[in-house]
Structure 1
């Protein structure tokens, strides 16, 4: 058997492996960059709310609201809801979701 076909097969296999690896790296980089951009945007939005005095003052009211399944609605919590919805009018979240987010900050 000639060495030429074996050499050609080995060369093709090594090139195919390199192409697959580089495609995987490009795909992985694109996914990681997309996740990083999303995380940074979310982090920026939540850090601005985390540092806000109105939202911080509503933490106890938010705990009461969540614990009572929406029965207890404190004035500080209502103020925080208003502030959050004013800052992010595109946000489509229920009062319960907002209260839980305030507790998570």
Structure 2
């Protein structure tokens, strides 16, 4: 009887270890995917707007937006977002990604 319990416990621990490893891999893949998407949006926006006066004027507002985690939205930043989205309608970045891209200019 003890042998069956021992094997059952060993099997249960092996399954739990496999589930934890799989969960870690899925979580890691999700985080890496999110970082890659942010980098792509930043790269797309910053390569197109290096000398754009509207976007460059919004750097201070973009910094305030990022620092406040999105609660401060300056007029220059709003104008830059509208300008960027008109110039590149296929851009898939959200406001925080675009603010980060503006700061990288």
Per the normalisation by structure 2, the TM-score is 0.56
1:10-41 deviations in Å (ceiling 9; x for gaps): xxxxxxxxxxxxxxxxxxxxxxxxxxxxxxxx
Q: What does residue 76 of structure 2 align with? A: 76
Runs of 4+ in 1 over 2 A off after TM superposition: 42-48
Larger Rg: 1
Give the number of the structure with larger relative contact order, counting CA–CA contacts within 8 Å between residues 6 or more apart: 2
Q: What does residue 98 of structure 2 align with? A: 98
Change (3 A) 1:53 1:64: same
Question: What number of residue pairs does the alignment pair up?
Answer: 64
Per the normalisation by structure 1, the TM-score is 0.56
Gaps of 5+ in 2: 1-41
